[in-house]
Structure 1
Amino acid sequence: MDNTFGIPIIPDNEDERLAKLRSLHILDTYEENGTFKHIAAIASRMFNVPIALVNFVDKDYVVTKARVGVEGSTEVSRAISLCSLAVLRSDVTVFENAREEPCLLANPMVIGDFGLQFYAAAPLTTSDGYNIGAVCIVDKVPREFSGSDQKMLQTLAAAVMDDIEKA
Protein backbone atom coordinates (compact mmCIF):
# COMPACT_ATOMS: atom_id res chain seq x y z
CA MET A 1 0.00 0.00 0.00
CA ASP A 2 1.39 3.39 -1.00
CA ASN A 3 1.26 5.97 1.75
CA THR A 4 0.69 9.61 0.76
CA PHE A 5 1.18 10.95 4.29
CA GLY A 6 4.93 10.52 4.70
CA ILE A 7 4.38 9.14 8.21
CA PRO A 8 3.54 5.60 9.36
CA ILE A 9 -0.22 4.90 9.21
CA ILE A 10 -0.31 1.37 10.61
CA PRO A 11 -0.87 1.26 14.39
CA ASP A 12 1.30 -1.01 16.54
CA ASN A 13 -1.76 -3.10 17.43
CA GLU A 14 -2.93 -3.50 13.80
CA ASP A 15 -3.53 -7.27 13.86
CA GLU A 16 -5.59 -7.07 17.05
CA ARG A 17 -7.42 -3.96 15.82
CA LEU A 18 -8.41 -5.68 12.57
CA ALA A 19 -9.50 -8.82 14.45
CA LYS A 20 -11.73 -6.68 16.66
CA LEU A 21 -13.20 -4.80 13.67
CA ARG A 22 -14.01 -8.04 11.89
CA SER A 23 -15.51 -9.62 15.03
CA LEU A 24 -18.11 -6.83 15.10
CA HIS A 25 -19.36 -7.77 11.57
CA ILE A 26 -19.78 -4.12 10.60
CA LEU A 27 -18.08 -4.52 7.24
CA ASP A 28 -20.59 -7.26 6.33
CA THR A 29 -23.57 -4.89 6.54
CA TYR A 30 -25.09 -2.60 3.96
CA GLU A 31 -24.21 1.07 3.84
CA GLU A 32 -26.51 3.56 5.54
CA ASN A 33 -27.31 1.72 8.78
CA GLY A 34 -30.12 3.72 10.41
CA THR A 35 -28.16 4.98 13.42
CA PHE A 36 -25.01 5.69 11.42
CA LYS A 37 -27.00 7.58 8.80
CA HIS A 38 -28.61 9.73 11.49
CA ILE A 39 -25.27 10.43 13.18
CA ALA A 40 -23.78 11.58 9.85
CA ALA A 41 -26.78 13.86 9.24
CA ILE A 42 -26.57 15.29 12.77
CA ALA A 43 -22.82 15.94 12.38
CA SER A 44 -23.34 17.75 9.08
CA ARG A 45 -26.00 20.01 10.55
CA MET A 46 -24.38 20.49 13.96
CA PHE A 47 -21.08 21.67 12.52
CA ASN A 48 -22.52 23.26 9.37
CA VAL A 49 -20.28 21.23 7.05
CA PRO A 50 -21.25 19.86 3.65
CA ILE A 51 -19.78 16.38 4.27
CA ALA A 52 -20.04 13.98 7.21
CA LEU A 53 -19.06 10.31 7.27
CA VAL A 54 -19.07 7.26 9.48
CA ASN A 55 -16.01 5.27 8.34
CA PHE A 56 -14.29 2.05 9.33
CA VAL A 57 -10.60 1.42 8.66
CA ASP A 58 -9.95 -2.07 7.27
CA LYS A 59 -6.59 -3.49 6.17
CA ASP A 60 -6.34 -1.79 2.77
CA TYR A 61 -9.47 0.35 2.54
CA VAL A 62 -11.54 2.80 4.53
CA VAL A 63 -15.15 1.70 4.26
CA THR A 64 -17.95 4.27 4.50
CA LYS A 65 -21.10 3.02 6.22
CA ALA A 66 -22.97 6.35 6.28
CA ARG A 67 -22.46 9.67 4.54
CA VAL A 68 -23.94 13.03 3.85
CA GLY A 69 -22.82 15.33 1.03
CA VAL A 70 -20.67 13.00 -1.05
CA GLU A 71 -21.47 10.24 -3.53
CA GLY A 72 -19.39 7.56 -5.14
CA SER A 73 -17.56 4.51 -3.91
CA THR A 74 -18.00 3.31 -0.35
CA GLU A 75 -14.33 2.30 -0.25
CA VAL A 76 -11.29 4.55 -0.44
CA SER A 77 -7.70 3.40 -0.30
CA ARG A 78 -6.34 3.58 3.21
CA ALA A 79 -3.22 5.18 1.70
CA ILE A 80 -5.12 8.41 0.94
CA SER A 81 -7.99 8.49 3.47
CA LEU A 82 -7.41 10.84 6.36
CA CYS A 83 -9.24 8.34 8.57
CA SER A 84 -5.99 6.36 8.44
CA LEU A 85 -4.55 9.12 10.62
CA ALA A 86 -7.60 9.37 12.87
CA VAL A 87 -7.31 5.75 14.08
CA LEU A 88 -3.76 6.44 15.26
CA ARG A 89 -4.95 8.79 18.02
CA SER A 90 -7.22 8.56 21.03
CA ASP A 91 -8.34 12.18 20.69
CA VAL A 92 -9.90 14.10 17.82
CA THR A 93 -7.79 14.62 14.71
CA VAL A 94 -8.20 18.15 13.34
CA PHE A 95 -6.79 19.82 10.24
CA GLU A 96 -8.22 23.34 10.18
CA ASN A 97 -6.40 24.12 6.93
CA ALA A 98 -5.21 20.93 5.27
CA ARG A 99 -3.16 22.79 2.68
CA GLU A 100 -0.85 23.98 5.46
CA GLU A 101 -0.22 20.49 6.88
CA PRO A 102 3.11 18.95 5.77
CA CYS A 103 1.77 15.36 5.98
CA LEU A 104 -1.09 16.26 3.59
CA LEU A 105 0.84 18.09 0.86
CA ALA A 106 0.94 14.97 -1.36
CA ASN A 107 -2.56 13.77 -0.52
CA PRO A 108 -4.86 13.67 -3.56
CA MET A 109 -7.93 14.44 -1.41
CA VAL A 110 -6.30 17.78 -0.54
CA ILE A 111 -4.38 18.73 -3.68
CA GLY A 112 -6.68 17.03 -6.18
CA ASP A 113 -10.12 17.86 -7.54
CA PHE A 114 -11.91 16.94 -4.31
CA GLY A 115 -10.38 20.00 -2.63
CA LEU A 116 -10.51 18.98 1.04
CA GLN A 117 -9.36 21.86 3.24
CA PHE A 118 -10.93 21.13 6.65
CA TYR A 119 -11.08 17.73 8.34
CA ALA A 120 -12.00 16.64 11.85
CA ALA A 121 -12.51 13.07 13.02
CA ALA A 122 -13.30 11.45 16.35
CA PRO A 123 -12.11 7.85 16.55
CA LEU A 124 -14.59 5.03 16.98
CA THR A 125 -13.05 3.30 19.98
CA THR A 126 -14.28 -0.07 21.22
CA SER A 127 -14.82 -0.67 24.93
CA ASP A 128 -11.53 -2.58 24.98
CA GLY A 129 -9.60 0.29 23.40
CA TYR A 130 -9.31 -0.43 19.67
CA ASN A 131 -9.81 2.42 17.20
CA ILE A 132 -11.77 0.82 14.37
CA GLY A 133 -12.88 3.90 12.44
CA ALA A 134 -14.02 7.49 12.84
CA VAL A 135 -16.89 9.93 12.60
CA CYS A 136 -15.53 12.54 10.18
CA ILE A 137 -16.58 15.97 9.05
CA VAL A 138 -15.16 17.64 5.97
CA ASP A 139 -15.32 21.04 4.32
CA LYS A 140 -13.76 22.53 1.23
CA VAL A 141 -12.87 25.75 3.03
CA PRO A 142 -10.59 26.18 6.06
CA ARG A 143 -12.35 26.62 9.40
CA GLU A 144 -11.71 26.72 13.12
CA PHE A 145 -12.70 23.80 15.36
CA SER A 146 -12.85 24.53 19.08
CA GLY A 147 -12.32 22.25 22.04
CA SER A 148 -16.08 22.30 22.60
CA ASP A 149 -16.62 21.24 18.99
CA GLN A 150 -14.18 18.37 19.50
CA LYS A 151 -16.10 17.17 22.57
CA MET A 152 -19.37 17.22 20.59
CA LEU A 153 -17.79 15.18 17.78
CA GLN A 154 -16.46 12.69 20.35
CA THR A 155 -20.00 12.35 21.72
CA LEU A 156 -21.30 11.46 18.26
CA ALA A 157 -18.56 8.84 17.93
CA ALA A 158 -19.53 7.43 21.33
CA ALA A 159 -23.15 7.14 20.13
CA VAL A 160 -21.99 5.10 17.11
CA MET A 161 -19.98 2.81 19.37
CA ASP A 162 -22.90 2.40 21.77
CA ASP A 163 -25.01 1.25 18.83
CA ILE A 164 -22.33 -1.18 17.63
CA GLU A 165 -21.55 -2.70 21.00
CA LYS A 166 -25.14 -3.06 22.21
CA ALA A 167 -25.77 -5.78 19.64
Structure 2
Amino acid sequence: MNYFINTNIIPENDSGRIAKLQSLHVLNTHEENGTFKHIAAMASHMFDVPIALVNFVDKDFVITKAQIGLDNNPVIDRGISLCSLAILRSDVTVFENAREEPCLLSNPMVAGGFGLQFYAAAPLVTKDGYNIGAVCIVDKKPRTFSEADQKMLENLATIVMDDIEK
Protein backbone atom coordinates (compact mmCIF):
# COMPACT_ATOMS: atom_id res chain seq x y z
CA MET A 1 0.00 0.00 0.00
CA ASN A 2 1.31 3.46 -0.92
CA TYR A 3 0.84 6.16 1.71
CA PHE A 4 0.01 9.69 0.60
CA ILE A 5 -1.49 10.80 3.89
CA ASN A 6 1.13 12.00 6.35
CA THR A 7 -0.33 10.32 9.42
CA ASN A 8 -0.97 6.77 10.62
CA ILE A 9 -4.14 5.53 8.91
CA ILE A 10 -4.33 2.07 10.50
CA PRO A 11 -6.50 1.94 13.64
CA GLU A 12 -5.51 -0.39 16.49
CA ASN A 13 -8.61 -2.52 15.91
CA ASP A 14 -8.02 -2.86 12.16
CA SER A 15 -7.99 -6.66 11.97
CA GLY A 16 -11.31 -6.88 13.86
CA ARG A 17 -12.71 -4.00 11.82
CA ILE A 18 -11.82 -5.71 8.54
CA ALA A 19 -13.25 -9.04 9.76
CA LYS A 20 -16.51 -7.26 10.65
CA LEU A 21 -16.62 -5.50 7.26
CA GLN A 22 -16.09 -8.78 5.43
CA SER A 23 -18.77 -10.52 7.50
CA LEU A 24 -21.35 -7.99 6.28
CA HIS A 25 -20.89 -9.15 2.64
CA VAL A 26 -21.01 -5.68 1.08
CA LEU A 27 -17.61 -5.75 -0.65
CA ASN A 28 -18.02 -8.47 -3.25
CA THR A 29 -21.17 -7.09 -4.82
CA HIS A 30 -21.66 -4.77 -7.76
CA GLU A 31 -21.97 -1.04 -7.22
CA GLU A 32 -25.20 -0.41 -5.38
CA ASN A 33 -28.23 0.97 -7.21
CA GLY A 34 -30.58 0.90 -4.22
CA THR A 35 -30.28 2.53 -0.82
CA PHE A 36 -26.61 3.47 -1.13
CA LYS A 37 -27.14 5.18 -4.48
CA HIS A 38 -30.12 7.09 -3.06
CA ILE A 39 -28.05 8.21 -0.06
CA ALA A 40 -25.24 9.44 -2.35
CA ALA A 41 -27.78 11.32 -4.50
CA MET A 42 -29.42 12.86 -1.42
CA ALA A 43 -26.04 13.94 -0.02
CA SER A 44 -25.03 15.55 -3.30
CA HIS A 45 -28.33 17.44 -3.45
CA MET A 46 -28.59 18.37 0.25
CA PHE A 47 -25.09 19.79 0.44
CA ASP A 48 -24.92 21.09 -3.15
CA VAL A 49 -21.69 19.23 -3.89
CA PRO A 50 -20.69 17.67 -7.21
CA ILE A 51 -19.42 14.42 -5.65
CA ALA A 52 -20.95 12.13 -3.02
CA LEU A 53 -19.86 8.60 -2.15
CA VAL A 54 -20.65 5.61 0.01
CA ASN A 55 -17.27 3.98 0.64
CA PHE A 56 -16.00 0.97 2.57
CA VAL A 57 -12.40 0.75 3.82
CA ASP A 58 -10.92 -2.73 3.38
CA LYS A 59 -7.36 -3.86 4.20
CA ASP A 60 -5.59 -2.28 1.22
CA PHE A 61 -8.32 -0.51 -0.72
CA VAL A 62 -11.32 1.77 -0.36
CA ILE A 63 -14.27 0.43 -2.30
CA THR A 64 -16.99 2.75 -3.57
CA LYS A 65 -20.42 1.12 -3.49
CA ALA A 66 -22.37 4.19 -4.66
CA GLN A 67 -21.30 7.46 -6.22
CA ILE A 68 -22.59 10.65 -7.72
CA GLY A 69 -20.27 12.79 -9.83
CA LEU A 70 -17.50 10.30 -10.62
CA ASP A 71 -17.18 7.85 -13.46
CA ASN A 72 -13.87 6.27 -12.54
CA ASN A 73 -12.82 3.02 -10.88
CA PRO A 74 -14.77 2.27 -7.69
CA VAL A 75 -11.58 1.03 -5.97
CA ILE A 76 -8.77 3.31 -4.73
CA ASP A 77 -5.63 2.63 -2.72
CA ARG A 78 -6.31 3.01 1.01
CA GLY A 79 -3.17 5.14 1.37
CA ILE A 80 -4.63 7.79 -0.95
CA SER A 81 -8.29 7.89 0.11
CA LEU A 82 -9.32 10.41 2.72
CA CYS A 83 -11.84 7.83 3.95
CA SER A 84 -8.84 6.17 5.61
CA LEU A 85 -8.80 9.19 7.91
CA ALA A 86 -12.57 9.27 8.36
CA ILE A 87 -12.66 5.78 9.88
CA LEU A 88 -10.21 6.86 12.59
CA ARG A 89 -12.80 9.14 14.19
CA SER A 90 -16.19 8.64 15.77
CA ASP A 91 -17.44 12.01 14.54
CA VAL A 92 -17.51 13.70 11.13
CA THR A 93 -14.18 14.41 9.44
CA VAL A 94 -14.13 17.80 7.73
CA PHE A 95 -11.49 19.48 5.61
CA GLU A 96 -12.97 22.81 4.54
CA ASN A 97 -9.83 23.52 2.50
CA ALA A 98 -7.69 20.39 2.11
CA ARG A 99 -4.85 22.39 0.54
CA GLU A 100 -4.26 23.93 3.97
CA GLU A 101 -3.99 20.56 5.76
CA PRO A 102 -0.38 19.50 6.43
CA CYS A 103 -1.28 15.79 6.46
CA LEU A 104 -2.69 16.08 2.92
CA LEU A 105 -0.05 18.17 1.16
CA SER A 106 1.42 15.19 -0.73
CA ASN A 107 -1.92 13.48 -1.39
CA PRO A 108 -2.51 13.19 -5.16
CA MET A 109 -6.25 13.74 -4.72
CA VAL A 110 -5.45 17.17 -3.26
CA ALA A 111 -2.15 18.17 -4.85
CA GLY A 112 -2.71 16.41 -8.18
CA GLY A 113 -5.01 16.91 -11.12
CA PHE A 114 -8.19 15.87 -9.30
CA GLY A 115 -8.04 19.06 -7.23
CA LEU A 116 -9.97 18.01 -4.12
CA GLN A 117 -10.35 20.96 -1.77
CA PHE A 118 -13.41 20.22 0.38
CA TYR A 119 -14.07 16.85 2.03
CA ALA A 120 -16.54 15.80 4.72
CA ALA A 121 -17.26 12.24 5.79
CA ALA A 122 -19.42 10.59 8.43
CA PRO A 123 -18.14 7.18 9.49
CA LEU A 124 -20.25 4.07 8.93
CA VAL A 125 -20.28 2.56 12.41
CA THR A 126 -21.48 -0.98 13.15
CA LYS A 127 -23.60 -1.72 16.22
CA ASP A 128 -20.51 -3.17 17.87
CA GLY A 129 -18.46 -0.02 17.24
CA TYR A 130 -16.37 -0.74 14.14
CA ASN A 131 -15.90 2.09 11.63
CA ILE A 132 -16.12 0.23 8.32
CA GLY A 133 -16.42 3.09 5.86
CA ALA A 134 -17.94 6.52 5.34
CA VAL A 135 -20.55 8.58 3.56
CA CYS A 136 -18.44 11.30 1.92
CA ILE A 137 -19.04 14.54 0.11
CA VAL A 138 -16.38 16.25 -2.01
CA ASP A 139 -15.94 19.52 -3.85
CA LYS A 140 -13.13 21.02 -5.87
CA LYS A 141 -13.52 24.34 -4.10
CA PRO A 142 -13.23 25.23 -0.41
CA ARG A 143 -16.44 25.57 1.58
CA THR A 144 -17.72 25.77 5.13
CA PHE A 145 -19.54 22.94 6.86
CA SER A 146 -21.63 23.71 9.94
CA GLU A 147 -22.43 21.51 12.93
CA ALA A 148 -25.98 21.16 11.56
CA ASP A 149 -24.51 19.95 8.24
CA GLN A 150 -22.38 17.46 10.13
CA LYS A 151 -25.44 16.10 11.93
CA MET A 152 -27.30 15.66 8.62
CA LEU A 153 -24.34 13.76 7.15
CA GLU A 154 -24.22 11.55 10.27
CA ASN A 155 -27.92 10.80 9.79
CA LEU A 156 -27.27 9.66 6.21
CA ALA A 157 -24.52 7.35 7.47
CA THR A 158 -26.94 5.93 10.04
CA ILE A 159 -29.43 5.13 7.27
CA VAL A 160 -26.71 3.22 5.39
CA MET A 161 -25.82 1.22 8.49
CA ASP A 162 -29.48 0.50 9.28
CA ASP A 163 -29.82 -0.90 5.76
CA ILE A 164 -26.68 -3.06 6.10
CA GLU A 165 -27.44 -4.42 9.56
CA LYS A 166 -31.18 -4.99 9.19
The structural deviation recorded for 1:101 is 0.3
Counterpart CA distance in 2 for 1:30 and 1:159 is 20
The yes-or-no answer on 1:103 pairing with 2:103 is yes
Q: CA deviation at 1:85?
A: 0.2
CA distance, structure 2, for counterparts of residue 52 and residue 161 of structure 1: 17
Distance 2:139 2:44 in 1: 10
Q: What is the CA–CA distance in structure 2 between the aligned matches of 1:119 and 1:131, rounded to whole Å?
A: 18
Identity of aligned residues (%): 72
Q: What is the distance in 2 between the residues matched to 1:133 and 1:87? A: 6
* Structure 1 residues 22-61: aligned runs within 5 Å: 22-61=22-61
* One-letter code aligned to 2:129: G
Structure-to-structure mapping, 1:11-26, within 5 angstroms? 11-26=11-26
Quick one: distance in 1 between partners of 2:33 and 2:26? 10
Read off the aligned partner of 1:113 and give its amino acid letter. G
- After superposition, the C-alpha distances for 1:31-59 in whole angstroms (9 at most, x for unaligned) are 02400000000000000000000000000
Q: Using the alignment, how far apart are the partners of 1:83 and 1:152 within structure 2? A: 18
Q: CA deviation at 1:2?
A: 2.2
Match of 2:146 in 1: 146
Unaligned 5+ segments in structure 2 are: none
The answer to whether the 8 A contact 2:6-2:103 is kept is yes
1:68-117 CA-to-partner distances (Å, cap 9, x unmatched) read: 00111010000100000000000000000000000000000001110000
Matches of 1:7 and 1:38, distance apart in 2 = 32
Shift, 1:30, TM fit = 1.0
Unpaired stretches in structure 1, ≥5 consecutive residues: none
Amino acid at match of 2:24: L
By how many angstroms is 1:4 displaced? 1.2
C-alpha distance in 2 between matches for 1:37 and 1:63:
14
SS of 1:122's equivalent in the other structure is strand
Q: What SS class does the counterpart of residue 43 from structure 1 fall into?
A: helix
Are residues 1:94 and 2:94 paired?
A: yes
* Aligned counterpart, 2:123: 123
Instruction: After TM superposition, give the deviation of residue 28 of structure 1 in Å.
Output: 1.5
The CA RMSD over aligned residues, in Å, is 0.5
The one-letter code sitting in structure 2 at the alignment partner of 1:123 is P
